[in-house]
Amino acid sequence: MIETFWNICLLHNISTRDQLLREAVRVVQTNRALQLQGAEHRSILEPETLFRWMNQYAGEREFGHFPGDRELFFRLYQAGKDMDLLDYAIQTIQQDRVTGAITVHTSIMDRFKDMCERHHYRTLLIAEAEKYLRGLAESQLYKRSFTITLVTENYIIAKLLKTYFESYLNVRIIQGSIYQPLPLSEKYDAILTIPKFGIKMDEVEDAIIRDSEGVAVNHLLPLLQDTGRISVTLPARMLFQSGRNAQWREQINESAPIQSVHMLPDGLFRPYISVKTYQIEFGRSPSQQVIIGRLLLHKMSLEPEREISVHAEAFARLENWRIDMLLDEDQDTLRSFQQAPVLKVKLRDVADIFRGKSVLKQDLRAGNIKILNISNIEDGEVRTDQLETIDEEERKIKRYEILPGDLVMACRGTVNKLAVFPETEGTVIASANIIVIRLKESISSGYAKIFLESPVGVTLIQSFQRGTTVLNLNPSDVGEIELPLLPHDEQNNRVKRYNEEKERYKQKIREATDRWEQVKNEIYSELY
């Protein structure tokens, strides 16, 4: 039924998400009007009469001009009059590849429902409800003893939801944007939202934060009851970025203390989102403990793989909310670093950090500028003999140039790679997959490399990673990593010992390899 309706629409250039939704609502609303009027005479269902009814009950004023003639509406009516409008909306939105609208995994709605039942919440608000339609349908939340307000910014989706939920007196539909103050006087026990990620909002007055995620939370919090909770899905960067984001975290934890932070499973929102995500619950009432954990997807349900509690006062003192480190199994090693009496410095205070240049494959050609890519870093060293080149003026690429002694670091890919750039002939620039760390006098590149590839360093890097299974690091985030600041002679001693032992190890490998080849060939020669 749904595919037949789609096909008729597509044959008549009704193809965008909103166009497909609009015509389905127009058909269902016309059919409902006919049923209410008791108009079941066969003549009513003739194309001419049906078209007049549509114009009267679902016409241009509500839905705009119908993009076809009487025959087209008649065919759409026959195909779609008995469709389940909610199922149609779910499938149409899921098939949309233009707007990039996300369909939230049903486990998020199930977890929200469990939270509401656990705390005996009754009045719920679901923001940008089109993202949660599948969860609504499968959980049948609207058939339970909840009073639900669904908010959507989209006019057609609001009309669709009003049409579908018309008979449910406990469901209210509001058209409005969560990125602006909502004109609502009611307060709710529980709010669910996954704001748009990574958009800077320009029209925000007197706000600490302009990121769409923070703006949405700021506008939704005033709608929360004193004993209520808001459950928010946020990307990793909102939990650790400094500057305005850090100020926002501190402010929000004072006005609506964090109740829990859970790391969501990798790939839960694919193909819509590929960054690491977290589900955070804020509440109006202070909590003695903050629950932090890591969730796994098991048979379509989110279940805790690991959970611990942190005293609320201790959590409030944290500079960021990087729970990855708190959940790390090797807590003793990490804690020993954090509690060590040695002075620590952030990379951004002792280095210039930048990402390389984006170079397209078609730009690679014989030229005077060499390109360092991830594939050129092997076993902690740069292989300079296989660098590709481009033909470009040096003045245009000067800002991406790598100098001897720079620490280079992979910021994309599946494996974290680090190396100190060696002396080499000619000009070499970093590709966009490389972050260059140009350290100042207080820290040597070799020492920084050793620390960052250590278990503690790897944990710190992973805590700033924005991607899920694929590495995704940002230069500003790398700048937040702390290094222990040792005297120069101690740094140099550790680097010297490291390099000597590595060379001894490589020599042993070479000797063992040569011996193996020799013995193997001797055995081969004795076979006959």
> Rounded to an integer, what distance in angstroms lies between the CA atom of residue 259 and that of residue 245?
19
**In contact, 449 and 380? CB cutoff 8 Å:** yes
Residue with tokens 């969560």: 178
Segment 460-486 shows an average pLDDT of: 79
What the block records as the tokens of 43 is 């003549």
> Rounded to an integer, what distance in angstroms lies between the CA atom of residue 36 and that of residue 298?
45
H or E element that contains 336:
helix 331-339
Looking at residue 206, what is its pLDDT? 60
Segment 332-342 shows an average pLDDT of: 75
What the block records as the tokens of 134 is 């599948």
How would you classify residue 354: left for phi > 0, otherwise alpha for psi between -120 and 50, otherwise beta? Answer: beta
The contacts of residue 268 (CB under 8 Å, 6+ apart) are 105, 107, 277, 297
Looking at residue 204, what is its pLDDT? 67
Mean per-residue pLDDT of the chain: 89
Looking at residue 331, what is its pLDDT? 63
Q: How far is CA 518 from CA 157, 260, 514, 515, in A?
A: 74, 61, 6, 5
Is this structure's pTM higher than 0.85? no
Looking at residue 467, what is its pLDDT? 57
What residue ranges in 11-159 does DSSP mark as E strands? 123-126, 147-152
Residue 334: is its pLDDT beyond 90?
no
Per-residue pLDDT of 373-397, as tens digits, reads: 999 999 899 998 889 999 888 888 8
What's at 199, amino acid-wise?
I
Residue 42: is its pLDDT beyond 50?
no
> Rounded to an integer, what distance in angstroms lies between the CA atom of residue 471 and that of residue 458?
12
Higher pLDDT, 465 or 286: 286
CB atoms under 10 Å from CB of 480, counted, come to 20
What the block records as the tokens of 30 is 């016309």
Per-residue pLDDT of 261-301, as tens digits, reads: 999 998 888 878 878 899 999 998 888 999 999 999 988 89
Per-residue pLDDT of 107-165, as tens digits, reads: 999 999 999 999 999 999 999 999 999 999 999 999 999 999 999 999 999 999 999 99
Return the percentage of the chain with pLDDT > 90, whole number. Answer: 55
Pairing type for strands 171-175 and 377-378 reads unpaired
Between 206-210, 359-363, 479-483, the lowest mean confidence (pLDDT) is in: 206-210
**In contact, 416 and 383? CB cutoff 8 Å:** no
